[in-house]
Chains A and B, each alone.
Chain A
């Protein structure tokens, strides 16, 4: 905002060496970047926000936003929140544990390098392939399905729960745990051995050190990472879309129905309202995350 205002008024400065403080010429160098972001990020976002408050005829209306309160979108939102919360909780706890197991190994060890690389792939690579990995494990004629059918006599057709909420939680954990390792590892690395030595010098037991020194120090980082995981799960689409091909149990899939079938709940362009709902949830969570991150960096920079 601070840049665009003077841009319009001033002519480009051909001599950048002179009058550096007053010239706005250098700001022009940002123009391509700002225009690109404006077209491909800001305009779509504004379209969503405006579209959510627009009626069929084009005037202002709260119809679509009010329709978010109907049963179907509300249930999808609830399921989405449950899914995000559970997978973030599982991911945060197990991810922190794995990160601790890794951080106790020396930084150059094979174990550490292997774990961080694998975690990088699973956390950042798209969800479609991960969904298929689990279908190959627990789906029809999957590896574990056949194995369990042979040994325990369970259903050889695969686990139908894989395509419902419990399955989504399992598959989401498969990329949430690695993400937790990646974002939480730096905080654990920042835990200085001197602090432990100081605590032990003052007569603290291991238990006291953890409860009274390490946990309080790590708490903001842990909560912040868990929030990031929550936002990540809430915004995720690919895994669920690959796993659940019909129906729309969660908000992202409801957006898919709104986009592909045009009319949901008797509302054209209902996708705008759902997308707005998504922006609001993720923005709140990411705002909290940024706040916690600032508190963390005070100690574990």
Chain B
């Protein structure tokens, strides 16, 4: 009896300690971004400038566009490939899995060091723009997108679905886009959400290739206008949090039908 009571109290005390550790820095961000440094008065100027400062709005736009393009690239590259492997070339599944999980072993920093020659060609062929980062970002999000899509794909009977569609006269394109993909939509969406969160926070590649994405500008501004970069930090954390909360609800719905 006493033991159970002690356990319950210490459990809540520990949870409170963890909550304090994790929430304190976020509260500090909010505090810092709404205070005028010398006088200590409250102000919303830093938050307002997120929408007005041209450098900041440009960076936000770049990062959001990059997130969009990365998701499109990821879906176009990965979804048909994974469905194709599942239906037609199952012996390649280990290879594709290995390649998709490879970016976990080869850090982004290493890719940046070796990508100079490739990017010389990219900028030569399609021009020098921050949006060319899409190519590397698609590689960086592969492991997370792969896991999410793989879980969805192995929960449906893709073989039967495709045979049914084929016997009704559907071509492979129709099978992939209109039969299988709608069935694994939650997995694709999950991969897309994580990709957006990863791209919005990505700093390693963009800073070392000198493109002004949101995190890069946050660091640049921290020297001249600290409250503004604190406001941008908190805003992007909250945005990513909102995305992942939505994802957790999707995930829960999937888990009721699938237990991998």
Binding site for B on A (CB under 8 A): 1-3, 16, 26-27, 29-30, 32-34, 36-37, 39-41, 43-48, 51, 94, 97-98, 101, 104, 108, 111, 113, 116-118, 120-122, 124-130, 132-137, 141-144, 174, 178, 231, 235, 237-238, 241-242, 252, 255-256, 259-260, 271-272, 274-275, 278-279, 282-283, 286
21 A-B interface contacts by CB (under 8 A): A29-B81, A29-B89, A30-B85, A32-B77, A40-B115, A40-B118, A40-B138, A41-B103, A41-B106, A101-B18, A116-B248, A124-B194, A128-B218, A132-B229, A133-B234, A137-B28, A174-B25, A237-B109, A237-B203, A238-B203, A286-B104
Chain B residues, Cβ within 8 Å of A231: 104-105
Chain B residues, Cβ within 8 Å of A143: 24, 27-28, 31-32
Binding site for A on B (CB under 8 A): 11, 14-15, 18, 21-22, 24-29, 31-33, 37, 77-78, 80-81, 84-85, 88-89, 91-92, 95-96, 99, 102-118, 135-136, 138-139, 144, 172, 194, 197-198, 200-204, 207-208, 215, 218-219, 222, 229-230, 233-234, 236-237, 240-241, 244-245, 247-248, 252
Q: Is the CB of A30 within 8 A of B114?
A: no
Q: Is the CB of B32 within 8 A of A36?
A: no
The 10 closest A-B pairs by CB, nearest first: A126-B201, A44-B114, A235-B107, A133-B25, A47-B114, A143-B28, A26-B88, A238-B203, A129-B233, A136-B32
Return A280 CB to nearest CB of chain B, in Å: 11
Instruction: Give CA–CA (A159, B252) in the complex, Å.
Output: 42
Instruction: Give CA–CA (A109, B37) in the complex, Å.
Output: 40
Residue of B nearest to A121 (CB): B241
Q: Is the CB of B204 within 8 A of A238?
A: yes
Chain B residues, Cβ within 8 Å of A272: 113-114
Q: Is the CB of B26 within 8 A of A133?
A: yes
Return B2 CB to nearest CB of chain A, in Å: 14
Q: Is the CB of A126 within 8 A of B102?
A: no
> Which residue among A108, A121, A174 has the maximum number of chain B CB atoms within 10 Å of its CB?
A121
> Which residue among B21, B22, B31, B230 has the maximum number of chain A CB atoms within 10 Å of its CB?
B22
Q: Is the CB of B113 within 8 A of A27?
A: no
Kindly identify which residue among A37, A121, A260, A274 contacts B237, using a CB–CB cutoff of 8 Å. Answer: A121
Q: Is the CB of A37 within 8 A of B139?
A: yes
Chain A residues, Cβ within 8 Å of B118: 39-40, 43-44
Kindly identify which residue among A33, A45, A133, A174 contacts B28, using a CB–CB cutoff of 8 Å. Answer: A133
Instruction: Give CA–CA (A174, B23) in the complex, Å.
Output: 11
Q: Is the CB of B244 within 8 A of A282?
A: no
Return B127 CB to nearest CB of chain A, in Å: 17
